[in-house]
Amino acid sequence: MSGDQVDAAVSHCTATLRAGVDRDWEAVHAAGMEWTCRTTAFHIAQAFTHYASRLASRAQERFPLALTLPEGTDNAGLLQVIEATGALVAAAVRTAPPGVRAYHPHPFGTADREGFAALAVNEALLHTHDIAGGLGLAHEPDPDLAAAVLAWLFPHVEPGPEPWPTLLWATGRGELPGRARVTDWTLYNNLVLPTERLLLTGIRPAVADDVRLGGRGGLDWLGDGPHEGTRQACSYLMKAYETGAHRPEFGVFALVRQEDGRAIGGVCFHGAPDDERRVEIGYDLIEGARGDGYATEAVRTLTEWALARDDVDTVVATVEPDNVPSQQVAARAGFVRATVDEERTAHEEYDMDSGLRLYVRRA
């Protein structure tokens, strides 16, 4: 997701709405909205202004920049404002360094450059749909843009047969056969958890798909990373995503060193908490980054984040008996070896491999 997609979405928006430029946009409501078509079009430009200013300034709270229109601005002029502010978003995305994050409220408080690009594309596609519906204009965006928005901002939504109808359904604007109509929706930027030396960077489905297929997911991996364990974790993430079972905050995280932006390993949950408020964690580290305490730092941080939630009481990890370094990571991160009874229960009720040892940390 990049400035190119923002440019494409803005071009589609203005080309679509230009067909109705001679209409009275103030007299017509956007489809399904209380706003008029003109208010909705101005909102697109306002959103672009917020996204560009936040990302360019690295703002960590709401950025006090307001957009106003000169008196007498007509519809054609408003489309020029959308083009200009859209270009600002695209430029901010292109010039932001990898990993830079700025304020956005949903749901974890920040977004990276790819997230802001996706937000801008989402804004353009959806509100063009709303305005076009009010004005009676034809509107059918590039399905690849809709698919990208879904993969970057709606990781909790099971993919549908076609991306554009799925995006409309996911945002309460349409129906999909076999699914209840959406009346309350949200979007997700990825969760990032800082440690002393790392950023635990949540991997989105768009990235996980590339990693599981042998790519590097747009991350600057140390050596020949990612490790096979991270690729396998991304495969499980994609299976969950494709069935609508993925919960973004309980997915896979890349371990990114703050000092140089290099990804050095992965840490993950093996799914969302179960009915007993129990979640399993796994981790791996690229060989060139081992021995410096990075894995312990990551596991401790992610475990403590989970245990601070209302839906988690227990975090477990399974380790091979001969993997002493991994056992030491678990111990340094506050885990203890499970009792014989606990391991028996894990074998019988959770299908834990009989060759593994169970480590536990509780709230």
pLDDT tens digit sequence for 332-343: 999 999 999 988
Question: Is the same domain home to 88 and 147?
Answer: yes
Question: Is the same domain home to 34 and 155?
Answer: yes
Nearest-angstrom CA–CA distance, 176 and 24: 32
- Give the confidence band of 64 by pLDDT, cuts at 50, 70, 90: confident
- Give the confidence band of 348 by pLDDT, cuts at 50, 70, 90: confident
Full residue range of the structural domain in which residue 327 is found: 192-362
Identify whether 184 is part of a domain: no
The single residue listed with the structure tokens 């901002």 is 153
Residue 37 belongs to a domain with what CATH number?
1.20.120.450
- Give the confidence band of 63 by pLDDT, cuts at 50, 70, 90: confident
The yes-or-no verdict on residue 354 having pLDDT over 90 is no
User: Cα–Cα distances in Å, from 256 out to 82, 253, 259, 314?
Assistant: 36, 9, 9, 26
Domain boundary at 139, 170, 201, which?
Answer: 170
Q: Can you give the pLDDT at residue 192?
A: 95
Report the sign of the C-alpha dihedral through residues 194, 200, 205, 207, in that order: positive
Domain boundary at 118, 136, 170, which?
Answer: 170
Question: Is the same domain home to 137 and 231?
Answer: no
Identify whether 123 is part of a domain: yes
Residue 263 belongs to a domain with what CATH number?
3.40.630.30
pLDDT digits (tens, 9 = 90+) for 197-231: 999 999 999 999 999 999 999 999 999 889 899 99
Domain boundary at 105, 138, 170, which?
Answer: 170
The yes-or-no verdict on residue 31 having pLDDT over 90 is yes
Q: Can you give the pLDDT at residue 349?
A: 84
Identify whether 187 is part of a domain: no
The yes-or-no verdict on residue 297 having pLDDT over 90 is yes
Residue 134 pairs in a beta bridge with none
Radius of gyration of the chain (CA): 23
The helix (H) or strand (E) run that includes residue 265 is strand 263-269
Question: Is the same domain home to 199 and 332?
Answer: yes
Q: Can you give the pLDDT at residue 274?
A: 93
Question: Is the same domain home to 197 and 164?
Answer: no
Query: pTM value?
Result: 0.93
Q: Which two tokens stand for residue 173?
A: 């604007």
- Give the confidence band of 106 by pLDDT, cuts at 50, 70, 90: confident
Question: Is the same domain home to 206 and 314?
Answer: yes
Question: Is the same domain home to 157 and 272?
Answer: no
Number of domains in the chain: 2
- Give the confidence band of 68 by pLDDT, cuts at 50, 70, 90: very high
Q: Can you give the pLDDT at residue 293?
A: 95
